[in-house]
Structure 1
Amino acid sequence: MDTIASLFSFITTPVSWVIVQFHKMYGAIFGPDTGWAWGLSIVSLVVLIRICLIPLFVKQIKSTRNMQALQPKMKAIQERYKSDKQRQSEEMMKLYKETGTNPLSSCLPILAQSPFFFALYHVLSAIASGKTIGVIDQPLLESARQAHIFGAPLAAKFTDSAEKVAALDASLTDVRIVTAVMIILMSASQFFTQRQLMMKNVDLSVKTPYMQQQKMLMYIFPVIFAVMGINFPVGVLVYWLTTNVWTMGQQMYVINQNPTPGSKAQDAYLQRLLKGVTHHGEVRGRRRKNIVKAIVAKGSDRNENERRFFTGLAKAGFAAQADGTVIKSDTAVAEAEGGAGTRRQQPKRQTKAQRQSGGGQQTTAKEAEDSAPDAEDAADATADVADEKAAPSLEKKPQSEAKGTKAGSPDAGDKPTRQRANSGGSRQRKGQQRPKHPSSKK
């Protein structure tokens, strides 16, 4: 313990000074010896630290976006070296190095606030032991030892003995109930934060080491905090519960306002943006315009959510511009409706006889309708009936009479062979064909 304290001694004095300054402010309101004064001082310390870590959090978001942009290349590497896991890992690390991406950047906020965490832990342990530390002198030490949060002293732990808890003027039952509830809340908030990140703000179409890392953190971190929480003083549990709640709220804001491309959160955000555009007739806000501008710049590289957003804009009569604004466009509506109609239209299926006699030529549904109008089909049907009635009498004539008939005689012209032609080739009737007229040369 002394070794750890010496490692973080450089930050123990600043942390104790910040707590004392907040205690003076809250002590004037709630009283200097109350748990509210000391508890709110710890909460304010967390808020101050997290505000200072906002630039690091922004860097974390940018690194996450870079990981998402690299997913197509990651997928290509996974497919290429599917059977060689070692080579796959080497190519992944090479890609990270070339693009300057760090897959472990999501841990940076936790690593950055670790010194403050251990410094606060050492301060509270010193208070529990009755030792002055940093700028906390003897009067402040006695005030902190008298402070209780829901009946549990700030320096008490779940594993403390009844005698040690009694020395802090509290009961062991109160201490264990308060610490157990805070440990459960701390672990649950950590799990919910990671779960909403995995379920809503990650593109699940491609498996990457980043996704595996987040999945591991989702299950491991709550267990770690639950196990370690029984050895944390109540004041440290207040600190860690506050920072988890802050992280959860911060993550919810990012998911709703700046979601990861290709995620469920992006689809929900773009649908809200589409509803706002159709209602107001414009894109409101600089940030929303920048998002539309970025989607327009992607061109054909847009994901499914972004293509659905542009289709919705076109159906509503809007067209997105390169500067992130939208304009009214009747052409966009026509293209959206025409594109849908074109996808529904399918070429007419040819019969087997058409495929065999057409010489490889195909006739579209439009050409078939132009070459075979309803009036012509009616005439063909009438001719078919007349030919079928005349066929039996013609077959009874002597063969000599059929041969003696000249091609130029009236008999030859009475029943000429009916031939039809269209632009795509000969058109044959499906089923049994009519018998040839005996006066035909063929």
Structure 2
Amino acid sequence: MPSFLDAPVSGAYHLVSWIADVLEPIGGPYAAALAIVACTVAVRLLLLPLSLRAVRGEKSRAVLMPQIQAITKKHAKNPERAQREIAKLQADSGTTLLAGCLPMVAQLPFFWVLYSLFTRAVVGGEPNDLLAGTLFGAPIGVHWPVFATTPAYVGLAVLLAVVAFFSARRQLARLDETATPLSRNLARVLPFGTLVTAAFIPLAAGLYLLTTTTWTVVERAILLR
């Protein structure tokens, strides 16, 4: 890893270690896992302005949907013109499709740092003591073994599946009658990609994934009422 990338990983190590030390009297062997959850919540709070912007954009697109449908129908034989007019309509209203992706994209650096933190035995020239943390007997720095039956891995898989189910249901509910079968199928399947991702990342990163996806489902349920 390039040396200039060591700084954020080292900084994250000291921050997570400090939080784990604070939580140790309460969490005991689960202090490191609780620290990850706490850091994830802090990240989502920092990104709340982007989430609010994404929700405003989603509501604005819902308001514009009748006009978008009219444009699509009017220029059904000229898709390029329809796309131009829809883009102009969105620009004039200040709505952008990218706004909904901002919270997810903004999290990528944090996720990368956490992944790097729990895949390195040495951080900043020191042994990575966070790797000693466990969750129901499973080391949080170990990747998900495919045939594992320990409570930590089974619990993570079940909870990710539950959150993905509610996420998929919410996305399907927000699709209108113009949605294509492909769009509906993607809405059903894509949220369950977290289960696939969890199979290739350390348990610690899986905890981040579970916490942030749960946050997203609850956040959208509240803000899009």
TM-score between both structures, scaled by the size of structure 2: 0.85
User: 1:366-405 residue pairs with structure 2 within 5 A?
Assistant: none
After superposition, what is the alpha-carbon deviation per residue over 1:218-262, rounded to whole angstroms, capped at 9, x for unaligned?
42231x32222111111111111111111222122224xxx3xxx
Taking a change above 3 Å as real, the CA distance of residues 100 and 173 of structure 1, as seen in their structure-2 partners, is: closer
Contact 2:10-2:123 at 8 Å conserved across structures:
no
Equivalent residues of 2:131, 2:139 under 8 A apart = yes
Match of 1:14 in 2: 11
Give 3-state SS (helix, strand or coil) of 1:89's partner.
helix
Please state whether the residue corresponding to 2:97 is helix, strand or coil.
Answer: coil
Instruction: Kindly indicate whether residue 217 of structure 2 is the aligned counterpart of residue 248 of structure 1.
Output: yes
User: Is structure 2 residue 124 aligned with structure 1 residue 124?
Assistant: no
Cα 1:191–1:148 change in 2 (3 A) is same
Give the alignment partner of residue 219 of structure 1, picking from 178, 185, 189.
189
Which segments of 5 or more consecutive residues in structure 2 lack a partner in the other structure?
none
1:185 to 143, 159, 178: 159
**Secondary structure of residue in 1 paired with 2:108:** helix
1:318-341: CA deviations, max 9, x gaps? xxxxxxxxxxxxxxxxxxxxxxxx
Provide the C-alpha distance between the structure 2 equivalents of 1:215 and 1:123, rounded to a whole number of angstroms.
35
Quick one: structure 1 residues 123 and 216, their matched pair in 2 at CA, closer, same or farther if it must change by over 3 Å?
same
Cα 1:217–1:16 shift into 2, 3 Å: farther
Distance 1:208 1:98 in 2: 24
The answer on whether the counterparts of 1:157 and 1:179 sit within 8 Å (CA) in structure 2 is no
Residue aligning to 2:176: 204
> Which of the numbers 22, 27, 46 marks the counterpart of 2:24?
27
Aligned to 1:151: 137
Question: Following TM superposition, by how much is the alpha carbon of 1:27 offset from its aligned partner in structure 2, in angstroms?
Answer: 1.5
Residue 125 and residue 246 in structure 1: after superposition, are their counterparts in 2 closer, same or farther (change >3 A)?
A: same
- CA displacement, residues 155-195 of structure 1 (integer Å, 9 cap, x when unaligned): 111248xxxxxxxxxxx8455x6324413422431341242
Q: Which has the larger radius of gyration?
A: 1
User: Could you tell me how far apart the structure 2 residues matched to 1:245 and 1:7 are?
Assistant: 32
Work out whether residues 160 and 210 of structure 2, in 8 Å CA contact, stay in contact via their aligned partners in 1. yes
Q: Pick the aligned partner of 1:96 from 90, 93, 116.
A: 90
For 1:38, the equivalent position in structure 2 comes to: 32
| Cα deviation code 1:60-95 (max 9, x no counterpart) | 111112212211210110110123323322322222
Q: Whole-Å Cα distance in 1 between the matches of residues 143 and 101 of structure 2?
A: 27
Could you list the per-position Cα deviations for residues 262-283 of structure 1 after superposition, in whole angstroms to 9, with x for gaps in the alignment?
xxxxxxxxxxxxxxxxxxxxxx
Q: Which has the higher contact order (CA 8 A, sep 6+)?
A: 2
Report sequence identity in percent: 22
Aligned residues of 1:154 and 1:233 also touching (Cα < 8 A) = yes
Paired with 1:63 and 1:101, the residues of 2 have a C-alpha distance of: 6
- Inter-partner Cα distance in structure 1 for 2:34 and 2:57: 33
How many angstroms apart in 2 are the aligned matches of 1:195 and 1:8?
A: 38
1:341-364 Cα offsets, whole Å, 9 max, x none, are: xxxxxxxxxxxxxxxxxxxxxxxx
Task: Return the alpha-carbon distance in structure 2 between the equivalents of residues 49 and 39 of structure 1.
Answer: 16
Q: Which residue of 1 aligns with 2:61?
A: 67
Confirm or deny: 8 A CA contact 1:156 1:234 kept in the other structure. yes
Give the RMSD, CA atoms, in angstroms: 2.9
- Contact 1:184/1:226, CA 8 A, preserved across alignment: no
Using the size of structure 1 for normalisation, the TM-score is 0.46
Deviation at 1:42, TM superposition (A): 0.5
Higher share in helix: 2
In structure 1, what is the Cα distance between the partners aligned to 2:64 and 2:4? Answer: 39
SS of match in other structure, 1:125 = coil
8 Å contact from structure 1 (residues 11, 115) kept in 2: no
Counterparts of residues 153-168 of structure 1 (less than 5 Å): 153-159=139-145
SS in 1 for 2:119: helix
Q: Aligned partners of 1:150, 1:159: CA distance in 2, in Å?
A: 15
Q: Which amino acid aligns with 2:21?
A: K
Contact kept, 8 Å, 1:60 with 1:105, in 2: the verdict is: yes
Do structure 1's residue 110 and structure 2's residue 110 form an aligned pair? Answer: no
Contact (CA 8 Å) 2:71, 2:86: kept in 1 or not?
yes
